[in-house]
A and B are shown apart, each in its own frame.
Chain A
């Protein structure tokens, strides 16, 4: 059994103590920021969720016990907004997972010319500020003057009312969301390029075709990254807010189809000033996200392959 070189008789050496101190000093900006802007607000929101705290009358706060949590079960908008969020997730999640893999495969192909250019082009939209991108898309998808429908019209097809038709709003949101796939695509591509070529060479010797190589080598090898993208996508969906909020001004238009959970939460807290109940909504969202992420981690043992044999 070895002992730590900096320990003498179970105690830290002066050098190790000094290093530890400096470690804390260098960590302190992040720690202070984390405590002030993340940890304390989390604790505060938990406390608020047991009160009737109104933003505009902070002096009249009283303890309401589990009242706000009971309200979650009778508030019809909770059901509506969770339904909207899950419905959109069912449409957008498969695309958010499959498309980066498809794009990465394309860019990993030896037959493709101009890879650096395509890499840049696919990643570029990711650096456009989200609000600007939404305004741009709002113009592009406009039924009357948007160029997408103009193109369709010029080819004799009457384009849909993307942003004001309940049947087309989710495809429109997915199209807008495609702009944010640059990061997932780049990470997937990097993981694909890190797969040892020896595996492919061995598979070729065994007579494996391109599909078999992709199915039995590429996919398992990049599965940790697919899993990572999936977790981030689910968390992203649970905090989906900017796009529908800017497009519909928070009205949930068309119909209630864009009344995502976070819009309900935002309006409750910052438009109706009901921060007590808003905090309960936030904790419900936290719970749902945790359950989904937990299920995902549980399922990972069946489909995520770690080359080292251990789960991350």
Chain B
């Protein structure tokens, strides 16, 4: 009798255990998604997934962006790594290079159709670890501008077609970095109403700036020079280098802050005049280079988008491509892949609207932009954004560097120096940077 009861209890326990759904943890915070206003939609998606998948229990964990890298590294170290992270872009992924699961075997076993995405987008997810993501969101960079400030300065709007000329003082000129510089200077105004081309202009009294790279700070220093073309800091032999076009880009960047004064310094960027770090939103910045994801955080309808200028006859638009990744440490790769398919499939349009990401799946793009039009009723020509994808920087400014996190940290210090210190010899600082990067690369040789 006792033995029977024990067997029955064991069977019941086993049955309960077998019926328990597998828990998959989804870690949000390395990229978009952890902002308070973004949580409700994601929570609803998790609820819907759980309702339709009785064998899997999806749990979402939000971590604020500032501490997300440290938190994830600690979770990995303690054996508590989440199963899925994302959305995460190139920069966030590079910090954890080597920790992602190759999805190829799961894709093959599942018969998942990768043909629904452009081949280049799929290739973009291939690394030394294999295929580490399903294409999800693209965030091309382009120019945001405020028409009212152009009207006030009596300037024509920047062209919406890539490669089209700009009309300056009644003359058609190439829309290139030089033209942008001139236009930005005219749009930079001090408290007395003088613009940055006039001798009376007082840079210490600036109240309106002409141009800035919106949110291109910590961890992404390289994106400040992509207007000057793509580049890599690693030469063919694996040594550190600064490509000539980027060297020129950094010189231009520094002069824009300290000589021409049309780009805000670190101090100005943090001031109330520029909404303490959100300069374009402040209304006191005429042009900003940023990505499609910036639609998350710009309000009002007094803005439009335009083409980026060329450099040396070529336009380069940096591209961010975010997706979700499965960590190697997962104990349930099949279930994690099931969640991955859901997030990048059934739930993708809703999530993309939350993150401000353009669907990589071409068939979904019209619906995405229609949703954006409901928010921004000024009639933005989103074809401008789409067109910039074809001008993506290859190699990407987010590519993995040897000893990546340390190298990236040194780049942040370099950018921070340029942002905050007048009177520098930029070439000497670049040489110092390259020497330091070499030492950092050598640490992992």
Interface residues of A in 21-79 (CB under 8 A from B): 53, 55-58
**Is chain A's binding surface mostly helix, strand, loop or mixed?**
loop
Whether B267 pairs with A164 at a CB distance below 8 angstroms is: yes
Write out, one digit per residue, whether chain B residues 411-422 have a CB within 8 A of any chain A CB (1) or not (0): 011001100110
Whether B405 pairs with A145 at a CB distance below 8 angstroms is: no
Query: Would A56 and B273 be within 8 Å (CB), given that A267-B409, A273-B73 are in contact?
Result: no
User: Which of these binds chain B: A136-144, A190-198, A292-300?
Assistant: A136-144
Q: Which residues of B contact A220 (CB under 8 A)?
A: none
Whether B416 pairs with A249 at a CB distance below 8 angstroms is: yes
Partner of B96, one of A56, A139, A251, A255: A56
Write out, one digit per residue, whether chain B residues 387-420 have a CB within 8 A of any chain A CB (1) or not (0): 0000000000000000001100100110011001
C-alpha gap A183/B445 in the complex (Å): 51
Whether A271 pairs with B268 at a CB distance below 8 angstroms is: no
Whether B276 pairs with A139 at a CB distance below 8 angstroms is: yes
Q: Which residues of B contact A270 (CB under 8 A)?
A: 69-70, 73-74
Whether B417 pairs with A255 at a CB distance below 8 angstroms is: yes
Shortest distance between the CB of B37 and any CB in chain A (Å): 20
B270 CB within 8 Å of chain A: yes
Whether A142 pairs with B405 at a CB distance below 8 angstroms is: no
Whether B270 pairs with A142 at a CB distance below 8 angstroms is: yes
B271 CB within 8 Å of chain A: yes
Partner of A271, one of B74, B266, B409, B413: B409
Whether A145 pairs with B98 at a CB distance below 8 angstroms is: no
C-alpha gap A248/B98 in the complex (Å): 29
C-alpha gap A86/B51 in the complex (Å): 58
Write out, one digit per residue, whether chain A residues 115-155 have a CB within 8 A of any chain B CB (1) or not (0): 00000000000000000000000110011111000000000
Whether A254 pairs with B420 at a CB distance below 8 angstroms is: yes
Q: Which residues of A contact B405 (CB under 8 A)?
A: 271-273
Write out, one digit per residue, whether chain B residues 45-64 have a CB within 8 A of any chain A CB (1) or not (0): 00000000000000000000
A163 CB within 8 Å of chain B: yes
A177 CB within 8 Å of chain B: no
Can you name the residue of chain B whose Cβ is closest to the Cβ of A158?
B204
C-alpha gap A248/B417 in the complex (Å): 11
Query: Would A55 and B74 be within 8 Å (CB), given that A142-B270, A253-B266, A270-B69 are in contact?
Result: yes
C-alpha gap A55/B75 in the complex (Å): 9
C-alpha gap A254/B406 in the complex (Å): 19
Can you name the residue of chain A whose Cβ is closest to the Cβ of B268?
A144
Whether B76 pairs with A56 at a CB distance below 8 angstroms is: yes
Write out, one digit per residue, whether chain B residues 262-274 have a CB within 8 A of any chain A CB (1) or not (0): 0001111011110
Can you name the residue of chain B whose Cβ is closest to the Cβ of A162?
B267
Query: Would A145 and B272 be within 8 Å (CB), given that A248-B416, A253-B416, A271-B409 are in contact?
Result: yes
Q: Which residues of A contact B409 (CB under 8 A)?
A: 250, 267, 271-272
Query: Would A142 and B416 be within 8 Å (CB), given that A249-B218, A255-B421 are in contact?
Result: no
Q: Which residues of B contact A143 (CB under 8 A)?
A: 267-268, 271
A275 CB within 8 Å of chain B: yes
Q: Which residues of A contact B268 (CB under 8 A)?
A: 143-144
Partner of B267, one of A144, A250, A251: A144
Write out, one digit per residue, whether chain B residues 75-93 have a CB within 8 A of any chain A CB (1) or not (0): 0111100000000000000
B217 CB within 8 Å of chain A: yes
C-alpha gap A63/B204 in the complex (Å): 56
B125 CB within 8 Å of chain A: no
Tally of contacts, chain A with chain B, CB under 8 A:
81
Q: Which residues of A contact B406 (CB under 8 A)?
A: 272
Shortest distance between the CB of A152 and any CB in chain B (Å): 13
Q: Which residues of B contact A139 (CB under 8 A)?
A: 272, 276
A83 CB within 8 Å of chain B: no
Number of interface residues of A (CB under 8 A): 30
Q: Which residues of A contact B70 (CB under 8 A)?
A: 270-271
Whether A163 pairs with B267 at a CB distance below 8 angstroms is: yes
Q: Which residues of A contact B74 (CB under 8 A)?
A: 55, 270
With most chain B CB atoms within 10 A of its CB, the pick from A248, A267, A270 is: A270
Q: Which residues of B contact A267 (CB under 8 A)?
A: 409
A289 CB within 8 Å of chain B: no
A252 CB within 8 Å of chain B: yes
Partner of B73, one of A56, A248, A249, A253: A56
A161 CB within 8 Å of chain B: yes
Can you name the residue of chain B whose Cβ is closest to the Cβ of A274?
B406
Whether A142 pairs with B417 at a CB distance below 8 angstroms is: no
Whether B413 pairs with A251 at a CB distance below 8 angstroms is: yes
Q: Which residues of A contact B267 (CB under 8 A)?
A: 142-144, 161, 163-164
Can you name the residue of chain A whose Cβ is closest to the Cβ of B440?
A272
Whether B420 pairs with A144 at a CB distance below 8 angstroms is: no
Q: Which residues of B contact A164 (CB under 8 A)?
A: 265-267, 420-421
Shortest distance between the CB of B296 and any CB in chain A (Å): 21
C-alpha gap A145/B270 in the complex (Å): 9
Shortest distance between the CB of A81 and any CB in chain B (Å): 13
Whether A251 pairs with B412 at a CB distance below 8 angstroms is: yes
C-alpha gap A174/B258 in the complex (Å): 28
B65 CB within 8 Å of chain A: no
Interface residues of B in 246-283 (CB under 8 A from A): 265-268, 270-273, 276
B99 CB within 8 Å of chain A: yes
Shortest distance between the CB of A252 and any CB in chain B (Å): 6
User: Beyond the given A56-B96, A58-B79, A253-B413, could you list 18 further A-B residue pairs with CB under 8 A, ordered by the A residue number?
Assistant: A55-B77, A56-B73, A57-B98, A58-B76, A143-B268, A145-B273, A164-B265, A164-B267, A164-B420, A249-B218, A250-B409, A251-B218, A251-B412, A251-B413, A253-B416, A253-B420, A255-B421, A271-B70
Question: What are 7 inter-chain pairs, A to B, with CB distance below 8 A?
Answer: A56-B98, A164-B265, A249-B217, A249-B218, A249-B416, A270-B70, A272-B405
Residues of A within 8 A of B (CB): 53, 55-58, 138-139, 142-146, 158, 161, 163-164, 248-255, 267, 270-273, 275
- What 8 A-B pairs come out closest when comparing CB atoms? A270-B70, A144-B271, A145-B271, A55-B73, A251-B416, A164-B420, A145-B272, A55-B77
Residues of B within 8 A of A (CB): 69-70, 73-74, 76-79, 96, 98-99, 204, 206, 217-218, 265-268, 270-273, 276, 405-406, 409, 412-413, 416-417, 420-421
